[in-house]
Amino acid sequence: MTIYAATVVDTPGDPFAGDPAAALAEDGALLVRDGVIRARGSLAALRAAHPDEAVTRLDGGLLVPGFVDTHVHFPQIRAIGGMGLPLLDWLERYALPEESKLADQAYARAVAAEFLDGLVASGTTSALVFGSHFAPAMDELFAAAGQRGLNITSGLVLSDRELRPDLLSSPETALADSADLIRRWHDRGRLRYAVTPRFSLSTSDDMLDVCAQLLGQGIWFTSHLNENLAEIATVTRLFPGSQDYLDTYCRHGLVTARSVFAHNVHPGDAELTLLAEHGASVAHCPTSNSALGSGLFPLRRHVEHGVHVALGSDVGAGAGLFLPKEALQAYFIQQLLGPAGLGLTPVHLLYLATRAGARALGLEDRVGDLAVGKDFDAVWLCPAEGSTLAVNLRHARDTADALARIFALATPADVAGVWVRGLRVGAAACPDPR
Ligand SMILES: [Zn+2]
């Protein structure tokens, strides 16, 4: 057992449901045994109750829950920074040529390691990962994620039209390969499977039927939705009988409480109503939406319709794996929307980067905050002495103000430690113990 003495900050409440300040919690220490948080309170109280336990001091900065990324493409880790193009042109120029390279299993192995190490270095301990079009590449991702103990939900990406030919498969092959991956990886440790059609633009009704056949037994579902106006127009042309983009999934039974749709920048009211009715979640990816010029995410309409929203980095269209950067960009976008925007507090930002993601992935009883009984998945954000963030933290008025300075200024260089089920996996930036 270990007692961690730190400024422990999390959001056990939901800041979108009431007073944001009431959603925030702070304590001075956690007692961790076998990777699980067993007690929480002041350092004095925990030491008095457990006088024989070692104390690890994490002085300075904040200890927050491990970040939860609900939309990120592992095959695109080497393709970040493609500027100047809208979605469909960006896919053709930057993303899909790189994704094709994962047909080479050794290449996929190297990419999977770079991707997962990047997640850890950014403090992300749980993620819904958009996979590869190639089954052997998925074996590499799952194996490497299992070795690192990360909470990874992912699956083979399915497409049978519109994309470059080497990324296509038949519905029959997709069904057989996916079923085999599910059998070998789903529910193995912290790994889970997500059925993953790239988007209905690149999947026929026959392929979406295959997706429906694969659901069940705790299997998740993820895809893209309403990202870009040209994409939506193409989907409308390809599915003349559908009411809207969401209906292309819904009529196959793919909109459920275990479904996460990325983007939804341009939803209709009927789509928002349907998402809420089925308890499906939306992964908001603000740096990607900005980089591709996809649009300004209508968060207020989602919240008013009762649609659950979490954050995704959407690497490689997004500008990196560090979730606080996405949270900051989400804040910027709501500011830019003016009266149509939903003003976000620092408490909202922490919630979006942690517990909202855990809830979207059905993991809220395991991770997302640092309550007693949860896995000890945590990030210690502690800036180097003399940095602008360190100066600002010293002058923060209270915890929420400290969070605001973190979201404004923190980078992966401020990730001083990362724990996955109690095991320290991140590199130390701050000396430890100090
Ligand atoms: Zn995406």
The three-point CA angle 239-240-243 to 5° equals 85
97 preceded by a cis bond (ω within 30 of 0): no
287 C-alpha to center of ligand 1: Å?
12
Residue 183, token pair as written in the block: 């059998």
pLDDT of 430 strictly over 80: no
227 C-alpha to center of ligand 1: Å?
9
Query: Residue 12 in contact with residue 369, Cβ under 8 Å?
Result: yes
Cα→Cα distances 197→221, 223, 251, 252, 386, Å: 9, 6, 15, 12, 47
**Collapsed DSSP state (helix, strand, coil) of residue 307:** coil
43 C-alpha to center of ligand 1: Å?
42
431 C-alpha to center of ligand 1: Å?
37
Going by C-beta distance under 8 Å and a sequence separation of 6 or more, which residues neighbour residue 149?
189, 190, 420, 421, 423, 425
pLDDT of 431 strictly over 70: no
314 C-alpha to center of ligand 1: Å?
5
Residue 283, token pair as written in the block: 């992964």
1 C-alpha to center of ligand 1: Å?
40
60 C-alpha to center of ligand 1: Å?
35
370 C-alpha to center of ligand 1: Å?
29
379 C-alpha to center of ligand 1: Å?
25
417 C-alpha to center of ligand 1: Å?
28
134 C-alpha to center of ligand 1: Å?
17
149 C-alpha to center of ligand 1: Å?
24
163 C-alpha to center of ligand 1: Å?
15
pLDDT of 428 strictly over 70: no
What pLDDT digit, counting tens, does each position of 322-375 carry? Answer: 999 999 999 999 999 999 999 999 999 999 999 999 999 999 999 999 999 999
198 C-alpha to center of ligand 1: Å?
8
DSSP state of 102: G
Cα→Cα distances 65→216, 356, 380, Å: 29, 12, 9
DSSP state of 428: P
224 C-alpha to center of ligand 1: Å?
6
4 C-alpha to center of ligand 1: Å?
37
Q: What radius of gyration do the chain's Cα atoms show? A: 21
Q: How confident is the model at residue 427 (pLDDT cuts 50, 70, 90)?
A: low
364 C-alpha to center of ligand 1: Å?
23
- What pTM value is reported for the model? 0.97
Residue 139, token pair as written in the block: 């074996």
Average pLDDT rounded to a whole number, residues 32-49? 98
Q: How confident is the model at residue 429 (pLDDT cuts 50, 70, 90)?
A: very low
338 C-alpha to center of ligand 1: Å?
26
372 C-alpha to center of ligand 1: Å?
34
Mean pLDDT value across the chain: 96
Positive/negative CA dihedral, 324, 327, 333, 337? negative
| Bridging pattern class, strands 415-420 and 378-381 | antiparallel
285 C-alpha to center of ligand 1: Å?
8
The closest of 270, 277, 329 to 301, measured between CA atoms, is 270
202 C-alpha to center of ligand 1: Å?
13
Q: How confident is the model at residue 433 (pLDDT cuts 50, 70, 90)?
A: very low
pLDDT of 120 strictly over 60: yes
Going by C-beta distance under 8 Å and a sequence separation of 6 or more, which residues neighbour residue 159?
133, 167, 168, 169, 197, 198, 202, 203, 207
81 preceded by a cis bond (ω within 30 of 0): no
- What's 340-353 look like in SS3? HCCCCCHHHHHHHH
